[in-house]
Chain A
Amino acid sequence: MSLPHATIAPIRFGYGLAPGRLNPANAGDLFRELTAGAAGDHALGPDLPARIKMLRDAGKAKRANTDPALIDRLNKQNREQILTDIAGHLQRRAFGQGFFERMAAFWGDHFSVTGKSLNRVLFVPVFEAEAIRPHIMGNFADMLVAVSRHPVMLDYLDQRVSIGPNSRAGKRQGKGLNENLAREILELHTMGVGSSYTQTDVRELAELLTGYTYHGESGAFRFVENRAEPGAETVLGQTYGQGQPDPGEAEDALRDIARHPETLRHLARKLAVHFTSDTPDAGLVNHLEAAFREGQGHLPSVYAALLEHPASWESFGQKVKQPIDYLASILRATGWRPDAMAKGPRNQLRYALRIMNQPLWQAPGPDGWPEAGAEWITPQGLAARIEIASKTGQRLARNRDLDPPSFAREVMGDALAPATAFAIGGAEARWEGFALLFASAEFNRR
C-alpha cells in the first residue's frame, strides 16, 4: 500500500502526527526542521562545571557524614535534576524540530556515553549539547573530533587514565596505555567491527591519544604533554607526530579515519538501518555512501540523500519505534507537554521508559541501544507498551470531547489499518479505544 508523504514524513522521520499542530508533510519540511533545529539552543539545564559541582558537593557531604539533612537535600537535588533533564529531553523530541531530534538521537546513540551510575546520567545531556548537537548539520569529522575530546567521553572510555608508557608520567609512575577509546573509535564510531584495521592500529591510535584528558573541576579539555607517548605513530598506513607531542596529531588521525571509505560505508549502512529497515535496501545504502563521499563527510548532503531516495518512503512500517520514541510519540499525539508536568507525571515518564527497558541515557554499552524490532517487541516489552497504552487511554478518556475513532484517524492518517479502526470503534469503553490505538502495531511502527 502506498501512503502519501504527508503521512510518512512525520511518522517515519519524526515523532508522529500531532492533532492540531503543524506536521512536516514532505522532504522539504523535514529539511527545514533540520535547519531550524541546528539554529536552536542546544543546552539542556546546568552546564558541565555546575553539574560537576553538584556531584562533588553531594560526595563531599556523604564523606563528611556529619549532616544527614544536607546529604539528603543534595541527593534529592541531583535526582530532581535528572527528572528535569528527562522531561526537557522528551519535550524536545515530542514538540521540537522532529527530524533534527531524530538525528540528535541517532548520533547520540552512535557515540553512546552512558553508564548505570547517577553521575553519568547527569553528564550525558551536556555531552549531547556540546559534542553532538552543534555538529549534526556540519561535517562528520568535526563531530568525531569534538566527541573524542569531550570530557564525558574521555571519562566514559577511560582515556583520562591512559598514559604513554614512554612518556615522563608513564616512566615515573610505571603506568601505561588504556586502549578503550581508541578501540571503540575504530570499532564503533568509524570503520566498524570486521573492517580492515588491526590491533596495531588500535594501539598506535591509543598512543596518539595519550595526553588527552580534562580538568577535574571545570571539565575543560586538557592536553597533558608529559603523558603523551613520544615519537611517531602509524595508523592505517599514515604516520603522525614526528616532532613534539601535540594534540593536533591525534586530531589529524581522527580526520583521516573519518574520511576512510570503510567509515563512510559503515555510517551509510547504520543510517539506513536506523531510519528505514533492519535489512535496508542496498541501493539506498550505496546512495548514502556516495553522498558521504561526494560531500566529503558533509552531513546535510547525506540527510538529503536519505530523503530523496525512494526506498526511504517505500519501506514504511518496517521499523519499530524504540521505547523512548514510542513514549515521545504518545506525548506528541496527546499534547501532554513534559515541560509543564509536575513531579508525579514526570516520574511516570521515567517509569514508562524503565518498564520498556530503555531508561534514558543508560544504554547497555558504548555500542548503544539495539536496533532490531525483535529486541524491543518481546513479550515483556510488548506487555509494557500495552500497560502504557492502557494508562494513556484511561487518562485521555477524561477529555470527554475526544472521540477515539476520529482521534485515531488524526494520529495515524492513512496509516491506520481498517481492522484497527474497526476495533477502536468497537471498544466497549472510550479508554479502551484509545488504548487499542496506542497498542496497535501501526502506532508502534514507522
Chain B
Amino acid sequence: MTLTRRTLLRASLGTACSVAAHPLANPVVWAATPGENRLVVIVLRGAMDGIGVVQPYGDRTFAQMRPTLASTGEDLADLDGFFGLHRDFHPLLPLWQAGELGFVQAVSTPYRAKRSHFDGQDFLENGGSSPEGTMTRSRDGWLNRALGLIPGATAKTAIAVGREHMILLDGKHKAGAWSPTNQLLLKDDERQLLSMIYAGDPLFAEALASAEGLSTLGPKAARRETSQSMASFAAEVLNGEGRIAAFSLTGWDTHRNQDRVFARIGKELVRAILTLKTDLAANWRHTTVLAVTEFGRTARENGSAGTDHGTGGAMVLAGGAIRGGKVLGRWPGLGEGQLYEDRDLMPTEDLRRYCAWALAGQFGLAGSDIEKTVFPGLEMGADPRILA
C-alpha cells in the first residue's frame, strides 16, 4: 500500500471510532462493576486546623486559647449546641441539615514523631501503623490495597485526579490517573496521525486511546487544577465506570492570618463538595466523601493569628450515602492536662477507623480483610455508623 495522507487518515479513523467508544468516555455500566456505591477521598494537604473549622465553642477554654481566631456572632453557625461551623464553610449548612454532611473531631493517624508535613502526608496515604511514621514495606496507598479487595474492580474503577502523584492509589492494583489540565495539544488530524504511527506499538496505542477518552471528561480545557475542575472531572468519571476518585486540595498550612487563608481555601473545599453533589446528580445518594488531613494544629493560636503543626484534627464526611448532621468522635477537652504534649488537641481515635468503616459500608469489604490488608494493625472496633 502506498502511503498517502488520505490513506493514513482513513486508516486512523478506526482508532478514532474506538476512542469514542472507550468505556471511560461513556457512562456504560458493565455487569462486572462493583455496584453503585461511590467513594471520593480528598486529601487536605498542609494540615487543616480541625478546631478552626468545627469550633468547640461549648468548651470554655476555646475562646481563651483562640483570642482572635474563635468565631463569634453570625460568623459561627451552631451545629449541635457544642460545636459551631466557621463562616467560610457556611455554604455547606444545607447539606448538614439534609444529613449529607458530618464531621469527626479529635482524630489522627498513628503518626506522632515529628509533625512533618512530608512524613505525615505520606503516612496518611500509606495507612500504616507506626508512630514514627515509617511507611509499610510495600510503600503503597491504602486505597490501592482496598481496590484489590473490591469484587469486580478493574483498572477503570479508581482514579487519582490531578498531576500531583498520589501515594493513596499507588500500588499493585491498576488505577487511573488524570488531570483535567492535561492537554493533547495536537490538532485533531495530527492526533489521528499519531494514533496511526502508534498502531504497531500497543503500549503507546492503548495509552493514547485512554488519554483521548479521559480528555473528553470534565471541564473542557481547564487551565488550572481548581477544586471545581477536579471535582467536576471526578464526578464525570464516577458517573461512568469509576467508583473511587481521589484528589488533593493544598494550602492548609495556616501559620499566619488563618482567617484570611480560610477565606480562600475554605471556599475550595466547599466548592469541591458542592460541585460533586451537583455533578454527581442522581449518583450523589450513593456517594461518600471523606476529606482527611495529615494532622491537626496547635490548640492555642500563635503570635501571628495562625496555628502551628499539631496532632489531633478533624475529618469531613459528606455525600448522600452518609448519616450526617452529627459531629462524631470523642471530645478530649482543651483544659489543663487534656492536650497532647500540652499543645495539641489530643487525638482520641484513629482516623483510619472511619475510613475503614466507610470502605466496609460502601464496598462490602470484610472487617478482617481491612484490618489485615488495607490498614494493617488497625482495630476497627464498633461501627461508628457513619453511613446511612
| Residues of chain A having any CB pair with chain B under 8 Å | 115-117, 180, 320, 354-355, 357, 364-365, 367, 373-374, 377-384, 386-387, 390-391, 417-420, 422-423, 426-428, 432, 435-436, 439-441, 444
Write out, one digit per residue, whether chain B residues 209-223 have a CB within 8 A of any chain A CB (1) or not (0). Answer: 011001100000000
Contacts of A419 in B (CB 8 A): 3, 8, 196-197, 199-200
Which of B3, B177, B183, B207 interacts with A377 by CB under 8 Å?
A: B207
Q: What CA separation (Å) do A78 and B196 show in the bound complex?
A: 46
Residue of B at shortest CB range from A119?
Answer: B118
Contacts of A382 in B (CB 8 A): 204, 207-208, 211
Q: Is the CB of B211 within 8 A of A417?
A: no
Q: Is the CB of B139 within 8 A of A441?
A: no
Residue of A at shortest CB range from B212?
Answer: A379
Q: Is the CB of A386 within 8 A of B163?
A: no
A320-B203, A377-B203 given; 17 more Cβ-contact pairs under 8 Å: A364-B165, A379-B176, A379-B210, A382-B207, A386-B185, A386-B211, A418-B3, A419-B197, A419-B200, A423-B193, A423-B196, A427-B193, A428-B190, A435-B185, A436-B194, A441-B197, A441-B201
Contacts of A432 in B (CB 8 A): 186-187, 190
Contacts of B214 in A (CB 8 A): 379
Contacts of A379 in B (CB 8 A): 176-178, 207-208, 210-211, 214
Enumerate B140-188 residues with CB–CB distance to A below 8 Å: 163, 165, 167, 170, 176-179, 182-187
Q: Given A379-B214, A387-B185, A417-B197: A435 and B3 within 8 A (CB)?
A: no
Contacts of A367 in B (CB 8 A): 139
Residue of B at shortest CB range from A427?
Answer: B190
Instruction: Indicate the member of A365, A419, A436 with the most B CB atoms within 10 Å.
Output: A419
Q: Is the CB of B196 within 8 A of A390?
A: no
Q: What CA separation (Å) do A417 and B183 show in the bound complex?
A: 26
Shortest beta-carbon distance, A429 to chain B, in Å? 8
Shortest beta-carbon distance, B24 to chain A, in Å? 9
Q: What CA separation (Å) do A432 and B5 show in the bound complex?
A: 14
Q: Given A379-B176, A383-B182, A419-B197: A426 and B207 within 8 A (CB)?
A: no
Which of A354, A378, A420 interacts with B177 by CB under 8 Å?
A: A378
Q: Given A354-B163, A380-B182, A436-B194: A116 and B122 within 8 A (CB)?
A: yes
Q: What CA separation (Å) do A364 and B138 show in the bound complex?
A: 12
Contacts of A380 in B (CB 8 A): 163, 177-179, 182, 211
16 A-B pairs whose Cβ atoms sit less than 8 Å apart in the complex: A117-B118, A374-B203, A379-B177, A380-B177, A380-B178, A382-B204, A382-B211, A386-B186, A387-B182, A387-B183, A391-B185, A419-B3, A422-B3, A426-B5, A428-B189, A432-B187
Shortest beta-carbon distance, B163 to chain A, in Å? 6
Report if B198 contacts A (CB, 8 A).
yes
Q: What CA separation (Å) do A325 and B199 show in the bound complex?
A: 24
Q: Given A380-B177, A386-B186, A435-B186: A423 and B207 within 8 A (CB)?
A: no
Q: What CA separation (Å) do A78 and B163 show in the bound complex?
A: 24
Q: What CA separation (Å) do A417 and B3 show in the bound complex?
A: 13
Q: Given A364-B139, A378-B207: A436 and B196 within 8 A (CB)?
A: no
Which of A320, A373, A383 interacts with B183 by CB under 8 Å?
A: A383
| Residues of chain B having any CB pair with chain A under 8 Å | 3, 5, 8, 116, 118, 122, 134-135, 139, 163, 165, 167, 170, 176-179, 182-187, 189-190, 193-194, 196-201, 203-204, 207-208, 210-211, 214-215
Q: What CA separation (Å) do A378 and B160 show in the bound complex?
A: 13
Contacts of B197 in A (CB 8 A): 417, 419-420, 423, 436, 440-441
Q: Is the CB of B163 within 8 A of A441?
A: no
Q: Given A116-B122, A117-B118: A390 and B186 within 8 A (CB)?
A: yes
Residue of B at shortest CB range from A388?
Answer: B185
Contacts of A418 in B (CB 8 A): 3
Contacts of B178 in A (CB 8 A): 379-380, 383
Instruction: Indicate the member of A180, A357, A432 with the most B CB atoms within 10 Å.
Output: A432
Q: What CA separation (Å) do A379 and B25 show in the bound complex?
A: 13
Residue of A at shortest CB range from B182?
Answer: A383
Contacts of A384 in B (CB 8 A): 182
Q: What CA separation (Å) do A109 and B204 show in the bound complex?
A: 25
Q: Is the CB of B190 within 8 A of A435?
A: yes
Shortest Cβ-Cβ A-B pairs, 3 listed: A390-B185, A379-B211, A379-B210
Shortest beta-carbon distance, B1 to chain A, in Å? 11
Q: Is the CB of B203 within 8 A of A386?
A: no
Q: What CA separation (Å) do A417 and B199 show in the bound complex?
A: 12
Q: What CA separation (Å) do A115 and B163 show in the bound complex?
A: 18
Contacts of A391 in B (CB 8 A): 185
Residue of A at shortest CB range from B139?
Answer: A365
Shortest beta-carbon distance, A177 to chain B, in Å? 13
Q: Given A365-B139, A380-B211, A384-B182: A436 and B118 within 8 A (CB)?
A: no
Residue of A at shortest CB range from B178?
Answer: A380
Contacts of A364 in B (CB 8 A): 139, 165, 167, 170
Q: Is the CB of B203 within 8 A of A373?
A: yes
Q: Is the CB of B211 within 8 A of A357?
A: no
Contacts of B184 in A (CB 8 A): 383, 386-387
Contacts of B118 in A (CB 8 A): 115-117
Residue of B at shortest CB range from A418?
Answer: B3
Q: Given A116-B122, A427-B190: A383 and B211 within 8 A (CB)?
A: yes
Shortest beta-carbon distance, A37 to chain B, in Å? 31
Instruction: Indicate the member of B118, B183, B204 with the most A CB atoms within 10 Å.
Output: B204
Contacts of B193 in A (CB 8 A): 423, 426-427, 436
Shortest beta-carbon distance, A185 to chain B, in Å? 15
Contacts of B189 in A (CB 8 A): 428
Shortest beta-carbon distance, A365 to chain B, in Å? 5
Contacts of B170 in A (CB 8 A): 364
Q: Is the CB of A426 within 8 A of B8?
A: yes
Which of B187, B194, B211 interacts with A423 by CB under 8 Å?
A: B194
Contacts of A374 in B (CB 8 A): 203
Q: What CA separation (Å) do A174 and B372 show in the bound complex?
A: 32
Q: What CA separation (Å) do A436 and B194 show in the bound complex?
A: 7
Contacts of A116 in B (CB 8 A): 118, 122
Residue of A at shortest CB range from B304?
Answer: A65
Shortest beta-carbon distance, A348 to chain B, in Å? 15
Shortest beta-carbon distance, A59 to chain B, in Å? 14
Q: What CA separation (Å) do A439 and B192 show in the bound complex?
A: 13
Q: Is the CB of A377 within 8 A of B204?
A: yes
Q: What CA separation (Å) do A390 and B170 show in the bound complex?
A: 29
Q: What CA separation (Å) do A386 and B187 show in the bound complex?
A: 12
Q: What CA separation (Å) do A423 and B176 show in the bound complex?
A: 30
Contacts of B8 in A (CB 8 A): 419, 422-423, 426
Q: What CA separation (Å) do A434 and B123 show in the bound complex?
A: 43
Q: What CA separation (Å) do A365 and B141 show in the bound complex?
A: 13
Residue of B at shortest CB range from A365?
Answer: B139
Contacts of B139 in A (CB 8 A): 364-365, 367
Residue of A at shortest CB range from B211?
Answer: A379
Shortest beta-carbon distance, A135 to chain B, in Å? 27
Shortest beta-carbon distance, B25 to chain A, in Å? 12
Residue of A at shortest CB range from B9?
Answer: A426
